[in-house]
Amino acid sequence: MSNLENALKVLELAKGHDRWRSSCLNLIPSENVTSKYVRLALLSDLGHRYAEGKPYKRFYCGTRFIDEIEVLAIELAKRLFKCKHASVKPISGTISNLAVFAALTKAGDTIMSLSISCGGHISFAEIGAAGIRGLRVVDLPFNSREMNVEVDEAVSLVERVKPKLVVLGASLFLFPHPVNELSRAVGEVGGHVVYDGSHVLGLIAGGAFQDPLAEGALMLMGSTHKTFPGPQGGIVLSNDEEAMDRVEEALFPGLTSNHHLHRVTALAISLAEMLEYGEAYAKAIVENAKELAKSLHERGLKVLCPHKGFTESHQVVLDVSEIGGGRWAAKTLEEANIIANMNLLPWDSLDRARDPSGLRLGVQEVTRLGMGKDEMNFIAEKIEQVLVKRESTSKVRREVEEFTSRFREVKFCFEGSRAYDLLESLAS
C-alpha cells in the first residue's frame, strides 16, 4: 500500500471505531465522552504549540493566549474543588501520582496503598510509578466484604511501618475511603494521606462523594476523563502551598516539558461545565449506578456488597467466577456491543489478571448521554440475556444498536449552534 493509502486506511479505521463505539453501551468506568466545546479546543492550534514554564514566565514566545487560558483553568479548578492550589500540568493521572511521589518522598522511602487486586492503581505499585521513584510499597489491609480499607488494622500498620505517604483512592472503587482516620494516624508518624481521585473526580466535583482535601488529604490527584468528563489528562489539587510548589517543580522541569496546551484549554472548558452542571451530573451518576446494581442483583447476578446498597460511586462490580469468569463475560458482552472491564477482585491473585473473577461496570458515560433509571433496567436486562440466559449475542447486539441510536447527544454541558458553527469552521 502507498503512504497515502495507509493514511486513508488509518482514517477509515478511526471512523469505523467512532461508528462502532457510538453504537455500543460503553460501560468502562475509566472512560467518558466530551462535549462539543471540549472537542473544539482539542482541535485548535494550541495542540501545535509549546509553553514550557509558568504562565507569564515562559521560556517560549507566542504564549499570550495560553497564559490567560492556563490561569483561568487554575482559577476554575480551585473554585470547583474548593481548594487553594491547582496544577493543570500533568498530562495523565499516573504523571499526577508520580509528581506527588517525587515531591513528597525520596528513593528508599516506604508508602502504603491498596494492592492491585484490592483496587489499587498500577501507579501505586512497585511495578509502576511508585517503583520508578524507588519506593517500597506496603499493602493497606482490605476488607473484601466491605470493599474498603480495614481501618483498625491499617492504623496499627501505619504506626509500625511509619510510611511517608498513605495513598488512598482506587480503580475498583465503590465506597468512600477512611481519609480522616488514616490522615490522623499517618500524621502522628510524620506522613500524609494523598488521594488518587481519578475514578471519582467528577463525583467529588459535584459533591456526590467524599471531599478528600476537606477530610485531611494533603493532595488530591486525578485523571480528568472518567467521572470528570474532560480531556484525557491529569490534575493535582491541594491547600498546602509549600507542598504544591514542590509538585509544580516535579512536573516542570521534572516530568514534562510541554504540557499539551489544547488539553489545558479543553480542561478549562470542562471545569466550567462542571461548575455549571456538576452537581446534577454527579447525582444522576450515583443514582444510575445504584439502579443498575439493584436490577442486576434482582436478575440473579452476583453483584458485590448488597448489604451496603451495592455502590456509592459510578461503579458496579460483579463476581462472575461461577458463570464463566471475567474474561469470558467481558468478551461475550463485547460481541453484543456492551463494553465492560474484566477485573481482578480482592481474592484473585495477580496472575489471574487475564482471567479474573470480576466484571467492572461504570455508568458515567451512559448517564452523560441522558440515560436514567429505565435505561439502567434495559442495560441490566441485556447483560442478563447475554451472561445468564445465554441468548444470541447478535440478536442482543441489534437491540443495543437500536437503543443506543437514541442516545448520541452529550448532556450536562454547554451546547447550542455556536459550538456547531465553531466546530465546522475549525474542521474545514
Q: 247 or 344, CB closer to ligand DSN?
A: 344
Quote the least distance from Cβ 201 to ligand DSN, whole Å: 12
Number of residues this chain uses to bind ligand DSN (CB under 6 A):
3
Quote the least distance from Cβ 233 to ligand DSN, whole Å: 12
Q: 128 or 325, CB closer to ligand DSN?
A: 128
CB contact at 8 A, 369 and 382 = no
DSSP string, 313-324: SSEEEEE-GGGT
Quote the least distance from Cβ 85 to ligand DSN, whole Å: 24
CA-CA distance, 36 to 165, in Å (whole number)?
Answer: 39
CA-CA distance, 245 to 248, in Å (whole number)?
Answer: 5
Quote the least distance from Cβ 26 to ligand DSN, whole Å: 12
Q: 30 or 270, CB closer to ligand DSN?
A: 30
Q: 171 or 404, CB closer to ligand DSN?
A: 171
Q: 205 or 340, CB closer to ligand DSN?
A: 340
Taking CB under 6 A as the rule, which mask of x and - marks residues 373-402 in contact with ligand DSN? ------------------------------
Q: 96 or 210, CB closer to ligand DSN?
A: 96
ω into 178 cis (within 30 of 0): no
Taking CB under 6 A as the rule, which mask of x and - marks residues 65-104 in contact with ligand DSN? ----------------------------------------
Q: Which three cell numbers stand for residue 18?
A: 467512532
Taking CB under 6 A as the rule, which mask of x and - marks residues 109-128 in contact with ligand DSN? ------------x-------
Quote the least distance from Cβ 122 to ligand DSN, whole Å: 6
Quote the least distance from Cβ 30 to ligand DSN, whole Å: 3
Quote the least distance from Cβ 171 to ligand DSN, whole Å: 4
Q: H or E segment at 238?
A: strand 234-238
Beta strand 234-238 with 219-223: parallel, antiparallel or unpaired? antiparallel
316 strand-pairing partners: 361
Among 26, 30, 288, 357, binds ligand DSN (CB under 6 A): 30
The answer to whether residue 171 forms part of the interface with ligand DSN (CB under 6 A) is: yes
Q: Any idea what the Cα angle at residue 257 is, between residues 54 and 73, rounded to 5°?
A: 45
Q: 158 or 267, CB closer to ligand DSN?
A: 267
Q: Which three cell numbers stand for residue 168?
A: 488512598
Residue sitting closest to ligand DSN (CB): 30
Q: 121 or 352, CB closer to ligand DSN?
A: 121
101-128 burial, b at 16+ Cβ within 10 Å, e below that, comes to: bbbbbeeebebbbbbbbbbbbebbbeeb
Reference 271, options 38, 68, 49; nearest CA is: 38
CA-CA distance, 182 to 197, in Å (whole number)?
Answer: 16
Quote the least distance from Cβ 124 to ligand DSN, whole Å: 10
CB count in 10 Å sphere of residue 178? 22
The answer to whether residue 315 forms part of the interface with ligand DSN (CB under 6 A) is: no
Collect all residues with Cβ–Cβ distance below 8 Å to 283 and sequence separation of at least 6: 206, 208
Reference 397, options 23, 51, 34; nearest CA is: 23
CB contact at 8 A, 316 and 289 = yes
Q: 278 or 362, CB closer to ligand DSN?
A: 362
Collect all residues with Cβ–Cβ distance below 8 Å to 226 and sequence separation of at least 6: 29, 30, 31, 32, 198, 199, 200, 201, 202, 314, 362, 364
User: Which residues contribute to the site for ligand DSN (CB under 6 A)?
Assistant: 30, 121, 171
